[in-house]
Amino acid sequence: MATESISERFGSDSAFTSDHVEFVGFSEKRVKKLRALLEKCGLPLTNLMGVSQKNVYYGTATHDSSNGEMLLPRQFWYIGDSERKKTIVHELGHDLSPFNADSNTAYGSEENRMRTSTHVRAIAKQSLLTNRYLNPYHKKRAESCVKFPARMSMASEIQEALMRTFEEETHAILIELRYTNKKHLQQVEAAQKKRMRKLSRASEFTPILTPPESEPLGVDATLIDLMGDDVKTVTDIDQKARAYFNSGRTFLGRLFGKHIDRRV
């Protein structure tokens, strides 16, 4: 199947509008804020059907893959603007799961989606093998895959479900970190590569990012598939991610890398 551009797939920029998304439990002001957070991030919203307010204050945002709904705790409105944007990007990573055939259109083709799913599985396996994880949350999710299957009472289907959850989180964290902390991903990649050499498995190493002087690979190739027609290179990804996280910041916020919010 040939890869189509975003405009060919959806017509103009409709893939990035939230007109079809249902917002439940938010004030009009917060709905406006959510629309801006979603539409400016640069990821297609074609799989997202709704955003709802959880009836809890603390907790993490979640995504319900059965109906394409993003669920946000009340705490979401009392964290910094950058943290809100990280949350949105992470949850859209779940929404654009490469393990879901419904994402074929967002990726441009089934071949593109399958390429991403293969890469994500490789990074998940490599993380477990090297014990070098993308971030502390990734390590925590890995513990369920490492410890629980050792119990004889665990059925194989439960083990597979745990691994699938870990792979889904691997994908969402890769997307989030590529937006927010490329340098950290480079450090994790270097640590995994070093460990693979020590394990005498250097030939099996899978890059997380695009190697120097190479065509886009890994999570970079994924984002080029997903983002708009104006994103064709690694530099384009860098610029779009930077623009998203700098938008709405004050001069001092941009200078010091922080953003002090008024409550929304």
Which pLDDT band, with edges at 50, 70 and 90, does 249 fall under?
low
The pLDDT of residue 229: 86
- Angle at which helix 110-130 crosses helix 136-147, to 10 degrees, equals 80
Which pLDDT band, with edges at 50, 70 and 90, does 52 fall under?
very high
Number of domains in the chain: 1
What is the strand order of the sheet 69-72 is part of?
A: 22-24, 50-53, 69-72, 62-64
Q: Considering the domain boundaries, does residue 41 fall inside one? A: no
Q: Considering the domain boundaries, does residue 166 fall inside one? A: yes
> Whole-prediction pTM value?
0.88
Residue 108 near residue 64 (C-beta atoms within 8 A):
no
Expressed as residue numbers, the domain containing 108 is 101-241
pLDDT in tens, 161-171: 889 999 999 99
Q: Considering the domain boundaries, does residue 254 fall inside one? A: no
73 vs 59: CA distance, rounded Å: 6
Beta bridge partners of 23: 51
178 vs 153: CA distance, rounded Å: 38
Q: Considering the domain boundaries, does residue 33 fall inside one? A: no
Q: Considering the domain boundaries, does residue 139 fall inside one? A: yes
Q: Considering the domain boundaries, does residue 232 fall inside one? A: yes
The pLDDT of residue 251: 45
Q: Considering the domain boundaries, does residue 161 fall inside one? A: yes
Q: Considering the domain boundaries, does residue 206 fall inside one? A: yes
The torsion angle over the Cα atoms of residues 192, 197, 202 and 206, rounded to 10 degrees, is 0
